[in-house]
Structure 1
């Protein structure tokens, strides 16, 4: 299925601000097919609404950590800083207990006041993601805001070790732009890190198989196309989740730099496609959220970007573990 694609504001800003920085890891060759989608700026390509029709995104530039009005954008990836553009992510529970616990946090302005007004983006005022440092646990959560600006959400963090929490939001202040902040969490106990799942072209979750094709190149836009099947049959009735037929989050192995992209046109399946640019060479973990039969599921992939080839060109595949059971993903 030939779907329209775009790199959303997260990925566009991220690629523009730090496309040549923070190189890590090594890469391998393409998985299925070469990228064929041209880069489309967010301003000219709206994304689908819950009905599957194009819907504006409010100018939120995804992937980078844009500045507040009147300040210069930082030359760092999204999610690597706890403070940016006059906003700070303040965790009230930086050391949650193992298992299910309630996480509380707030976003504070430059004067130390809790921010209470946000712009709704993809159906939510704030998107909250928690991932383990070894990238085997992933939580896309939907916290609830109290009148004083304190957010809270239940999260299941099953193992001891280091985690990182990301707050993705756009303040309601006039002229404000989107911000992605990150903060470290520590779950006490004996830490046993898991190896990063191997590169493979498919992931399996709850009886669904998701195949990832295309390339992910550092500093160059490429198409990632994910095809969802069940029992060998294409899934052609994917359901909108937060206003889109799929959401894709990429975290760079090592520092967990954050890249968030969304599909634009097409649907409701079996293909969900994205145009994305890797900020640097390295290894990335991709997490695709899709909804079918009333339930959101996550397919995870390990991807490498930036292997030199003959002639000096670079390429990177979009790939993943053969089975999805090695990872731990949930929604809240």
Structure 2
């Protein structure tokens, strides 16, 4: 995933018989509120946020990418579009060029040719995984979605072609079974996962670059020996509630540069594409294990104060 920032948006909704989840770290503690920025003119009515986060009012501050299954002459050909919840299945896809050929050469970014994000429509489930590419350009990885529901699959990559730009393409995936909707947790400034606590300082602002600082502690003591994961001490992904607009940003600095410390703080800069509610997912590695801390934040509006559903501390382990 590129060192800058990728914004991806899409609006497809799956049928009501589908929709839900992959588990990860659960957010708890103080509310993150973003003071309202300068007013953005709205062009038409703002669409409601089905996950409880309010509208996205105003216009996009950057061109939306990734809403599309095709962009820049490349298409995400998702061959697995339906799986059964609770059963292990092979997720298979290819990236095709404008001539329909499967792409077989990629630039390596953060130690991988392609990064795959799988997220449920209600944002209760998130996975950052790395599939295997066959010689013919087919990518595959086994997945087991624990709950029925609608999911979005994001492929983040850069073709190995002179002048090629980083792309994030998205496609829908459904897990069949009994649908049980989940409410998005209320905004919180701390998240607990597998015995770790991560505190978020800073706020997302529409159209304005801001700093997000995440501090990792364990048992009340700061963690100062984070391990590099995919060439960084942390990876942050944000998904906008309602349409799952995708934003990826890496921290400033990198391990071994002589100035970036291995914790407890990981710093990022990010710009929200619009006002609205976002779910942040931080991947970090310590003592050989990768953990994911989750946060709900609101950009451009005050926190709505709807109660968070009951969640236990700790996270369902998942592959990266």
Deviations 1:272-313 (A, max 9, x none): 0111110000000000000000000000000100127xxxxx
- The residue that corresponds to 2:295 in the other structure is 301
- The residue that corresponds to 1:240 in the other structure is 228
Partners of 1:118 and 1:125 within 8 A in 2: yes
Deviations 1:36-68 (A, max 9, x none): xxxxxxxxxxxxxxxxxxxxxxxxxxxxxxxxx
How far apart are residue 223 of structure 1 and its match?
Answer: 1.0
Q: Distance in 2 between matches of 1:79 and 1:324?
A: 33
- The residue that corresponds to 2:38 in the other structure is none
Partners of 1:108 and 1:114 within 8 A in 2: yes
Match 2:121 to one of 129, 133, 137: 133
Q: Distance in 2 between matches of 1:322 and 1:192?
A: 15
TM value normalised by structure 2: 0.77
Q: Distance in 2 between matches of 1:226 and 1:323?
A: 21
Q: Distance in 2 between matches of 1:30 and 1:133?
A: 23
Matches within 5 A, 1:247-266: 247-265=235-253, 266=260
- The residue that corresponds to 1:111 in the other structure is 99
Matches within 5 A, 1:251-330: 251-265=239-253, 266-307=260-301, 325=313, 330=318
TM value normalised by structure 1: 0.74
Provide runs of 4+ in structure 1 moved above 6 Å. Answer: 320-324
How far apart are residue 156 of structure 1 and its match?
Answer: 2.1
How far apart are residue 229 of structure 1 and its match?
Answer: 0.3
Match 2:67 to one of 80, 90, 106: 80
How far apart are residue 155 of structure 1 and its match?
Answer: 1.5
- The residue that corresponds to 1:157 in the other structure is 145
Determine whether 1:180 maps to 2:180.
no
Partners of 1:86 and 1:110 within 8 A in 2: yes
Deviations 1:88-124 (A, max 9, x none): 0011111022122210000001111100000000000
Partners of 2:131 and 2:139 within 8 A in 1: yes
- Is the alpha carbon distance of 1:33 and 1:240 closer, same or farther for their aligned partners in structure 2, counting shifts above 3 Å? farther
Partners of 1:198 and 1:302 within 8 A in 2: yes
How far apart are residue 321 of structure 1 and its match?
Answer: 8.9
- Is the alpha carbon distance of 1:202 and 1:118 closer, same or farther for their aligned partners in structure 2, counting shifts above 3 Å? same
Partners of 2:284 and 2:292 within 8 A in 1: yes
- Is the alpha carbon distance of 1:295 and 1:229 closer, same or farther for their aligned partners in structure 2, counting shifts above 3 Å? same
Q: Distance in 1 between matches of 2:309 and 2:195?
A: 15
- Is the alpha carbon distance of 1:232 and 1:106 closer, same or farther for their aligned partners in structure 2, counting shifts above 3 Å? same
- Is the alpha carbon distance of 1:326 and 1:135 closer, same or farther for their aligned partners in structure 2, counting shifts above 3 Å? farther
- Is the alpha carbon distance of 1:322 and 1:77 closer, same or farther for their aligned partners in structure 2, counting shifts above 3 Å? farther
The alignment of Structure 1 onto Structure 2 pairs a total of residues equal to: 265
Unaligned residue ranges in structure 2 (runs of 5+): 12-29, 36-61, 254-259
